[in-house]
C-alpha cells in the first residue's frame, strides 16, 4: 500500500477534527463547558445542524460497510436498510417532539432522566441507565470494528487486531473528549457530504469496473450468476433471513431507533419541535443512497471480491482497494473513519453522561465541572469494554447492530407506555424489562419464543414479551386515587 491513501485519509480526519473543535469553541455558551453544553449542545440546535447530527445515526459504518457486506453475502436481506429508515422516521415524527417537550419542560439531560421524571423512581433511572449503557457499548463495537479495518487497510494487515482496535478507541475518545455534542454535530455535516460524494463516484463508475454496461446491467448480471439473490431468503436459505424475519427486524429497528439514549439526547438538543418534525419529513430521502450501497455489494460479488478471512465487513474496502486508484482508496478510508468517529463519539458521550447523572449523582453530590470529568473518565472504561467486544466477535456489522437494537428495545415499552398510558408504574416497567431480557438472552427462553414465533426477529419477539408483562401488571394493579 502506497503512502497516498494513508495521507489522504489522515488529512480528511485531521482537518475535520480541527474544524469541528473550532466550531464548538466558537459556539460555546458564555458559561463555558458544563454538562448541559457538553451533552445536549445547550439545547440550541437548529434545522441544519440537527439534520446532520440526526443523519449521523443513518449514515454510519453500519450503512456503508455493513449493508454492502450483507448484500454481498446474503442478497435481498440487505433491503432491510430501505424499510427501516422510512419506518423509523414515520414513527419519529410523532415520538421525537414528545421527547423534546419532556426534556425542555423537565430540564432533562439523559434518557434515564425521563424515566425518573415520568415514573417518579430514581432507582428505575439507574436501572434504565445501566441498560442503555450496555446497548451503547454494543453499538460502539460497530464503529470500532470499522475503524480497525481502515487502519489495517492503510497501515498494513500486519497491524495486530488489538492494536488497531485500541488505536480506534483512542481516536474516538480524543475527539469527543475535547468538545462534546456540538463538535460531533459539525463533523457529521462534513462526513455526510463526503459520503454523498463517495457514493456518487463509486455508483457512477462501478459498472465499468466489473465489465458491465450500466448500473442496471450490474443487477442483471449478478441475478444471472446468482438467481436467488434478489428475493427472500436470498443467497443463504439456512440463515433464516426470510420475509418474516425481514418484516419483524425492520419493525424492531424502527421501534428501537429513537429509544437509543443518544437519540434522546439529540432530541433534547433541538431548538424547537418544528425543527424535529421537518427533519422527520425529509430524512427518509437518505435511504435512497442505499440503492447505490447495495449496488456496490452486488458489484463486489460479481467481481469475485474475496476479503481476507471472508470478512463481509471488509468487502467494500477490499473491492475498492482491488479496483480503484489509491486516491479513491484514501477518500473511502477517510470517509469511513468519519462515519465511525462521529456516531461512535456520540455514543460514548451519551454513555458517560448517563453514568454521571443517573448512576453516580444519586449516590453523591456532583458539581457541573466534576460531572464532566466523571463522564470523561467513564468513557475510557466504556471504550475499553467495546474494544474487548470487538476483539472477541467476528459477526457482521448488521448482526451486531440488530443485537444492539434488540437490547435497547427492552426500554421501548417504558417510553411508549410513558407517553400513552398514565396508569403505568415503575414496577411494571422494571418487571417487563426483566422478562424481556430473559426472553432475549436466556437460551431456553429464547428457544421457546423462537418455537412460538418462528422466523421472528428475536429482538421484536422479546419486546412483545416485555410489553405484554407491563400491560398485565398495569391492568392488575389497583388504580391510584386522583390527586
Q: What is the pLDDT of residues 68-126, one digit of tens each?
A: 999 999 999 999 998 988 899 899 999 999 999 999 898 888 899 999 999 999 999 99
Q: Are 339 and 56 in contact (CB under 8 A)?
A: no
Nearest to 339 by CA among 25, 84, 55, 136: 55
**Phi/psi at 396 (5° precision):** -70, 155
The pLDDT score that the predictor gives to residue 212 is: 94
- What is d(CA 469, CA 475) in angstroms, rounded to the nearest whole number? 10
The pLDDT score that the predictor gives to residue 301 is: 95
- What is d(CA 191, CA 184) in angstroms, rounded to the nearest whole number? 10
- What is d(CA 250, CA 235) in angstroms, rounded to the nearest whole number? 19
The pLDDT score that the predictor gives to residue 156 is: 74
- What is d(CA 175, CA 411) in angstroms, rounded to the nearest whole number? 29
Task: Region of 455 please: left (phi>0), alpha (psi -120 to 50) or beta.
Answer: left
- What is d(CA 99, CA 122) in angstroms, rounded to the nearest whole number? 19
The pLDDT score that the predictor gives to residue 30 is: 46
The pLDDT score that the predictor gives to residue 424 is: 96
E strands, 238-372, are none
Residues of the chain scoring pLDDT < 50: 1, 30-31
Please list, in sequence order, all residues whose beta carbon lies within 8 angstroms of the beta carbon of residue 325, skipping any fewer than 6 positions away. Answer: none
Please list, in sequence order, all residues whose beta carbon lies within 8 angstroms of the beta carbon of residue 80, skipping any fewer than 6 positions away. Answer: 246, 249, 250, 253, 398
Q: Where are the domains of the chain?
A: 3-398, 421-483
The pLDDT score that the predictor gives to residue 309 is: 83
C-alpha cell at 477: 394493579
- What is d(CA 402, CA 240) in angstroms, rounded to the nearest whole number? 14
The pLDDT score that the predictor gives to residue 275 is: 86
- Which residue in the block uniquely carries the three cell numbers 414465533? 453
Please list, in sequence order, all residues whose beta carbon lies within 8 angstroms of the beta carbon of residue 262, skipping any fewer than 6 positions away. Answer: 57, 136, 346, 347, 349, 350
Could you say which architecture CATH assigns to the domain 3-398?
Up-down Bundle (1.20)
The pLDDT score that the predictor gives to residue 482 is: 56
**Phi/psi at 330 (5° precision):** -65, -40
Amino acid at each position: 500500500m502506497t503512502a497516498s491513501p494513508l495521507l489522504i485519509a489522515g488529512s480528511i480526519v485531521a482537518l475535520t477534527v480541527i474544524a469541528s473543535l473550532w466550531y464548538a469553541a466558537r459556539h460555546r455558551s458564555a458559561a463555558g463547558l458544563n454538562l448541559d453544553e457538553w451533552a445536549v449542545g445547550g439545547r440550541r440546535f437548529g434545522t441544519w445542524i440537527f439534520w446532520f447530527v440526526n443523519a449521523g445515526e443513518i449514515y454510519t459504518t453500519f450503512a456503508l460497510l455493513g449493508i454492502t457486506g450483507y448484500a454481498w453475502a446474503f442478497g435481498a436481506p440487505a433491503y432491510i436498510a430501505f424499510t427501516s429508515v422510512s419506518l423509523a422516521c414515520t414513527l419519529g415524527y410523532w415520538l421525537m417532539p414528545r421527547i423534546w417537550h419532556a426534556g425542555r419542560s423537565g430540564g432533562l439531560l439523559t434518557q434515564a432522566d425521563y424515566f425518573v421524571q415520568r415514573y417518579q423512581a430514581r432507582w428505575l433511572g439507574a436501572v434504565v441507565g445501566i441498560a442503555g449503557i450496555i446497548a451503547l457499548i454494543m453499538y460502539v463495537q460497530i464503529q470500532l470494528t470499522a475503524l480497525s479495518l481502515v487502519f489495517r487497510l492503510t497501515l498494513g494487515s500486519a497491524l495486530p487486531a488489538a492494536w488497531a482496535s485500541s488505536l480506534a478507541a483512542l481516536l474516538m475518545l480524543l475527539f469527543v473528549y475535547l468538545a462534546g455534542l456540538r463538535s460531533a454535530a459539525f463533523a457529521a455535516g462534513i462526513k455526510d457530504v463526503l459520503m454523498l460524494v463517495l457514493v456518487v463516484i463509486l455508483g457512477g463508475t462501478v459498472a465499468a469496473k466489473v465489465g458491465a454496461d450500466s448500473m442496471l446491467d450490474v443487477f442483471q448480471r449478478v441475478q444471472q450468476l446468482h438467481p436467488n439473490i434478489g428475493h427472500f431468503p436470498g443467497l443463504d436459505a439456512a440463515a433464516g433471513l426470510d420475509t418474516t424475519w425481514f418484516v419483524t427486524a425492520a419493525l424492531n429497528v424502527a421501534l428501537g431507533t429513537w429509544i437509543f439514549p443518544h437519540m434522546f439526547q439529540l432530541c433534547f438538543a433541538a431548538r424547537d419541535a418544528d425543527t424535529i418534525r421537518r427533519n422527520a419529513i425529509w430524512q427518509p430521502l437518505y435511504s435512497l443512497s442505499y440503492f447505490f450501497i447495495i449496488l456496490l455489494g452486488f458489484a463486489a460479488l460479481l467481481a469475485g471480491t474475496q476479503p481476507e478471512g471472508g470478512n463481509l465487513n471488509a468487502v467494500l474496502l477490499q473491492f475498492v482497494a482491488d479496483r480503484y486508484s489509491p486516491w479513491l482508496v484514501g477518500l473511502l478510508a477517510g470517509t469511513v473513519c468519519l462515519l465511525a468517529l462521529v456516531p461512535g463519539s456520540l455514543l460514548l458521550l451519551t454513555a458517560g453522561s448517563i453514568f454521571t447523572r443517573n448512576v453516580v449523582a444519586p449516590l453523591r453530590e456532583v458539581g457541573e465541572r466534576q460531572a464532566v470529568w466523571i463522564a470523561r473518565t467513564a468513557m475510557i472504561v466504556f471504550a475499553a469494554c467495546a474494544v474487548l467486544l470487538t476483539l472477541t466477535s467476528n459477526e457482521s456489522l448488521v448482526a451486531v447492530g440488530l443485537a444492539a437494537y434488540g437490547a435497547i428495545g427492552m426500554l421501548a415499552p417504558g417510553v411508549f407506555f410513558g407517553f400513552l398510558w398514565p396508569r403505568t408504574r415503575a414496577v411494571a416497567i422494571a418487571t417487563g424489562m426483566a422478562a424481556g431480557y430473559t426472553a432475549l438472552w436466556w437460551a431456553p427462553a429464547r428457544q421457546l419464543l423462537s418455537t412460538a414465533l418462528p422466523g421472528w426477529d428475536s429482538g421484536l419477539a422479546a419486546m412483545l414479551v416485555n410489553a405484554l408483562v407491563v400491560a398485565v401488571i398495569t391492568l392488575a394493579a389497583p388504580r391510584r386515587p386522583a390527586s
